[in-house]
Structure 1
């Protein structure tokens, strides 16, 4: 999951939690919103950690001259 997907999940969760009143049998709309916001926040954090690790990685190319 990338940073963009995490942000989208967070925004959809916030919209469901704060703005909409859904009637889903067996599921509270506030609970669904909180779950989506938490998943989005976790996705953003994981995406940032992955990007930070990629920037620290150094690729070394070894060339050998053969006679």
Structure 2
């Protein structure tokens, strides 16, 4: 989700840093471009970290045994939602 935002910030920062010469009072256009590019890289890195921390689905463990006294099969299933 934030990958697109990161790419847009990198492109806008590169345009400000390398292509345009705009006089912005109080802030240099090169500095603003580098700040936007750094924010774009940070947004992309954080999007990868956020998607890696969210496990999807669930985990199941199934055990099957035979009861020696009755001869019947006993199933046991554990479901671990993440």
Query: Cα RMSD (Å) of the superposition?
Result: 1.8
Gaps of 5+ in 1: 63-67
* Bigger share in strand: 2
Q: How many aligned residue pairs are there? A: 60
Gaps of 5+ in 2: 60-78
State the TM-score, normalizing by the size of structure 1. 0.78
Provide the C-alpha distance between the structure 2 equivalents of 1:58 and 1:16, rounded to a whole number of angstroms.
39
Higher RCO by CA contacts (8 Å cutoff, separation 6 or greater): 1
* Bigger share in helix: 1
Structure with greater Cα Rg? 2
The answer for the alignment partner of 2:8 in structure 1 is 8
State the TM-score, normalizing by the size of structure 2. 0.65
Of residues 44-53 and 2-11 in structure 1, the stretch that sits farther from structure 2 once superposed is: 44-53
